[in-house]
Amino acid sequence: MNVVPYQRPKGILEEYEKSLAGKSEKTVDAYMRALRQFTTWIADRPGNGGLFRPEQLTKTAIEMYLALLQSEGYSVSHLARVKSAVGSFARWLMEEKEILRRNPIRGVEIPAQPLLAPRQLSPDQRYILRSLVERDGNPRSEALFALGYWAGCRVSDVSWLQIKNTNIGPKVGWLSVGYKGNKMRDIDLLNQARSPLYKYIQHGGRDPDSPYVFTSQRADRLTEAGIHHWFRTLKSMATKDEWELILDITFHDLRHDFAHRAREAGWTLEEIAYYLGHVTKKGMPAIQTTIRYTQASREQIKEKLKQIKG
């Protein structure tokens, strides 16, 4: 968003922040960041002269701001958090300051997210996640992330991966994966996936007595819930600015993004379907499932329009 530097409306946000003293530090920080961005956007609207005044907090402003966030790729859950923060601020302006006569949040609907919308990460999101893994420097983290990001593996593929099904060496590597639905498949690995996996198996401190590749201190394998917990912990290392871009990304989104990048690299839908394990009971590629993963976005079509020549 292109916005002017925020100008404080006579300390009104600072007053409101003090009223949140009973909430957790994380909640207060999330609310205030959302409100500062929202009020800055209002201040930048025509006729406002770079200033925010509480009476400018209207239903129209909220609806247009949420629509803007959606167009920029923010998730429905992020929009819901913004709506909650603005609604709380508006109630305070009504009940404590008696500036507003009614809460403008009433009747505001969050724009619906398209059904089966694919999750394609932005270059910034990819940069942040890959940087977090590198900053973490943990061999297990590097291997877990690599199998999602560079091999498009499911959480179950990773959690149930057994040593006997890994064929990893210093220069070549492939896996037999497919715990879900008991549909095993052999996949070759990019060096970006093979190398960290080989490093982890050789020097990552896994339990050598476990038949599973990824182990934990509590069990002989790292569970699906354990992988999700690891991914949340990895994201918690982000700075505040980084967190805004990656807070709602899941491990499964890495798989979706891999499918997009494979499609951009020229893979056919059949090839992507096989690699991701989208196959029917008869072993044929389940193209309809893969199409959901590689669904084109409006922004992609918009860029392609520029390539049409007369």
Partners of 208 in beta bridges: none
Q: How confident is the model at residue 6 (pLDDT cuts 50, 70, 90)?
A: very low
Q: How confident is the model at residue 69 (pLDDT cuts 50, 70, 90)?
A: confident
Find the mean pLDDT for residues 282-304. 55
Q: Is the pLDDT of residue 115 over 80?
A: no
Tokens at 64, concatenated? 């247009």
**DSSP letter, residue 238:** S
Record the pTM: 0.59
Distance CA 287, CA 291 (A): 6
Length of the chain: 310
pLDDT, tens digit (0-9, with 9 covering 90-100), for 96-108: 988 888 889 998 8
Q: Is the pLDDT of residue 126 over 90?
A: yes
Tokens at 244, concatenated? 């805004």
Q: Is the pLDDT of residue 180 over 60?
A: yes
Q: How confident is the model at residue 283 (pLDDT cuts 50, 70, 90)?
A: low
Distance CA 58, CA 100 (A): 10
Percent of the chain with pLDDT over 70: 83
Longest Cα–Cα distance of the chain, Å, equals 70
Q: Which helix (H) or strand (E) holds 185?
A: strand 185-188
Lowest mean pLDDT among 4-8, 9-13, 155-159, 305-309: 4-8
- Sheet arrangement for strand 173-177: 166-168, 173-177, 185-188
Q: Name which of 40, 32, 27 is nearest 13 in CA terms.
A: 32
Task: Give the residue with greater pLDDT, 218 vs 206.
Answer: 206
Give the chain's mean pLDDT.
84
Task: Give the residue with greater pLDDT, 67 vs 288.
Answer: 67
Q: Is the pLDDT of residue 8 over 60?
A: no
Q: What residues contact residue 29 under an 8 Å CB cut-off, 6+ apart? A: 240
- Tell me, what's the pLDDT at 112? 64
Domains of the chain: 12-95 (1.10.150), 123-304 (1.10.443.10)
Q: Is the pLDDT of residue 284 over 60?
A: no
